[in-house]
Amino acid sequence: MVMSVILLAPSWATMINGIMTVSDAWQKLRTDPALKFIVLSLAFYGLATFEGPMMAFPSVNVVSHFTDWTIGHVHSGALGWNAMITYGTFYFMVPRLVGSTLYSVRLANLHFWMALAGTMLYIVAMWGAGVSQGLLWLSVDEIGELSFSFRDVMSSMTPFYALRLIAGLIFLTGTAAMAYNLYMTVVGRSTVTVNIPAVDPAYGVGR
């Protein structure tokens, strides 16, 4: 638990450093989809690395362990941080690889909102499911027997899992929109040729 709380410091230092790096270019966030995704990914990184140490507290972990809360935490990292930073990198690199501009900035903006909505809905659904499961599993009757069976608990999960399905479909559709956008950006073009700069022979490269 102590190490997890200590981990908050380097994680948040990274997030704050990343967000402050773009603080001079806020107006670019309106027009540059790559930057939007990268800043959003940093925000989710902050969320996941705040939630993680909290989940390491025994009093929280006794509720969250073995529940969908952990799955929510995983996906605030996996979708919010890892997927978003990957999307931002693609939107930045792919047009440059072919020396062109992105096929559709509007479609990329739509993807941004779909990715944000999909991730938020997913996390909220799993928080709801996880906290419900944790509390139901911990409730015991007056003689100390479990008040709810595994079946009772799982059968009450339908609304949460339905919401997660919708969230996943929104997220997936956004990803498909990006794939189409990037395909239209590169189709019919060839990759730019980069001339490798001459290296001072004193470095002995290629010997």
Q: How many CB atoms lie within 10 A of CB 161?
A: 14
- 140 φ, ψ to 5°? -125, 155
Q: Confirm or reject binding of residue 77 to ligand HEM (CB under 6 A).
A: yes
Piece of the chain touching ligand HEM by CB under 6 A; list 76-84, 153-161, 164-172, 183-191 = 76-84
CB of 54 to ligand HEM, least distance (A): 8
Q: How many CB atoms lie within 10 A of CB 176?
A: 12
Q: Where are the alpha helices (DSSP H) in 98-157?
A: 105-138, 150-155
| Per-residue contact string for residues 79-118; x = within reach of ligand HEM by CB under 6 A | --xx------------------------------------
- The secondary element (H helix, E strand) that includes residue 103 is none
Residues in 45-74 at the binding interface with ligand HEM, rule: CB under 6 A = 48-49, 52-53, 55-56, 61, 64-65, 70, 73-74
CA distance 51 to 5: 10
What residue ranges bind ligand HEM (CB under 6 A)?
A: 4, 7-8, 11, 48-49, 52-53, 55-56, 61, 64-65, 70, 73-74, 77-78, 81-82
